[in-house]
Amino acid sequence: MTVTSQSVSAAVAVANLDDLPVGESMTVDLPGQPRIAIFNTADGVYAIDDTCTHQDASLADGWVEDCAVECPLHEACFDLRTGVPNGPPAKTPVRTHDAQVVDGHIFLTPSA
């Protein structure tokens, strides 16, 4: 994806990429939004709502492999690209958000 200055202007800078090594996650709190988890994977940076849709657990505390995160509570796995669970116990997707890296900074555009 090509990032233009216009597309970045609607986003919020949330972290420096150096502060989030590959394989790690972090959470951010933005006004009017539920807590958002950001994941840095070998395939890129992804952002989803932090709370598992099966039960109240932080997905940022989960285990990440490839482009999926496993909830630490009941092992529900969510695709970081789509938010869709790949099997029980979760049945409802988590909301995804646009995350971009520009000049070493992570920009986040929350979904509506």
pLDDT band of residue 9 (cuts 50, 70, 90) is low
Instruction: State pTM to two decimals.
Output: 0.88
Is residue 74 over pLDDT 50? yes
Is residue 4 over pLDDT 70? no
Q: How far apart are CA 27 and CA 93, in angstroms?
A: 18
Cα distance between the two ends of the chain: 21
- Find the mean pLDDT for residues 53-71: 94
pLDDT at 47: 98
CA nearest to 58, candidates 97, 89, 91, 27 = 27
Is residue 5 over pLDDT 50? no
CA nearest to 95, candidates 74, 109, 106, 107 = 109
Is residue 107 over pLDDT 90? yes
Q: How far apart are CA 96 and CA 58, in angstroms?
A: 15
Q: 67-95 burial, b for 16+ CB within 10 Å, e for fewer?
A: bbbbbebeebbbbbeebebeeeebeeebb
Kindly report whether the peptide bond that precedes residue 89 is cis, defined as omega within 30 degrees of 0: yes
